[in-house]
Amino acid sequence: MRAKFKVNGKDVEVEVEPRLTLADCLRHHLRLTGTHVGCEHGICGACTVLVDGAAVRACLMLAVQAEGSEVVTVEGLSLEEGLTPLQASFRRHHALQCGFCTPGMITTAHALLSEEPDCDADRVREVLSGNLCRCTGYIPIVEAVLDARPAYGGREGLKDGGKGHS
C-alpha cells in the first residue's frame, strides 16, 4: 500500500507492504542508511528516529503508520558544512567507538535536549538507558550530551548532577 510522509523536510511517497517497519522503509526504500537496525524488537534503540518531534523506535512502527507524519533521521540532524554542536561534542568526548549505536544516541539526545535543555546527568542516563552501547561504557556519551546543552539553549555552567564525570 501507499504511504506519504515527510522525511528530513522532503515529501516522500512509498509503495510498501504493511508489514514493513519504518526503519526498513528508511533504509531500503529511501536509502537513508544512517538509521541502524540492531535488535529489530525494540530493545537496542539503534533505530531511533524522530516522528513529529518525538523520539521513537523505527523498528516498532510500521511505515504505513507514518502516513502524514514528519520523520527526521540522523541524516536530517547533520549539516553539509561540518559537525553540529551535538556531533562535535560526541567527537570531543570520544563518545563513540564502533559507531553502531551512534545514530540512535544522536537522535535520542537531540530529542531530549530539545525538550529539556537543562537536563542533568541522572536524566541523561535515564533517557539513554533505552539505547544500548557495547563499547564506550556510556560515560563519554553522557558527558557529550551534557556538554551539548548550551547549543540547545541550556543555561551555561550547569552542574552535571554529580554523576556525569568519572
* Residue 55 sits in the site that holds another protein (CB under 8 A): yes
Of the candidate residues 40, 70, 75, 160, the single one contacting another protein (CB under 8 A): 40
Nearer to another protein, 21 or 87 (CB): 21
Cell of 122: 541522572
Nearer to another protein, 34 or 130 (CB): 130
Do the Cβ atoms of 59 and 14 come closer than 8 Å?
A: no
Nearer to another protein, 7 or 63 (CB): 63
CB of 28 to another protein, least distance (A): 11
* Residue 45 sits in the site that holds another protein (CB under 8 A): yes
| CA–CA dist 26, 76 (Å, integer) | 12
Nearer to another protein, 96 or 128 (CB): 128
Which residues lie across from 62 on neighbouring strands?
Answer: 21
Q: Which stretch binds another protein (CB under 8 A): 7-15, 34-42, 95-103, 155-163?
A: 34-42
Of 166, 165, 55, 164, the residue nearest 120 (C-alpha): 164
Of the candidate residues 99, 118, 129, 137, the single one contacting another protein (CB under 8 A): 129
Q: Which stretch binds another protein (CB under 8 A): 75-83, 104-112, 144-152, 155-163?
A: 104-112
Do the Cβ atoms of 120 and 159 come closer than 8 Å?
A: yes
Q: What are phi and psi of 137, to 5 degrees?
A: 75, 10
Do the Cβ atoms of 52 and 65 come closer than 8 Å?
A: no
Q: How many CB atoms lie within 10 A of CB 58?
A: 27
Nearer to another protein, 62 or 88 (CB): 62
Interface positions, 144-163, toward another protein (CB under 8 A):
none
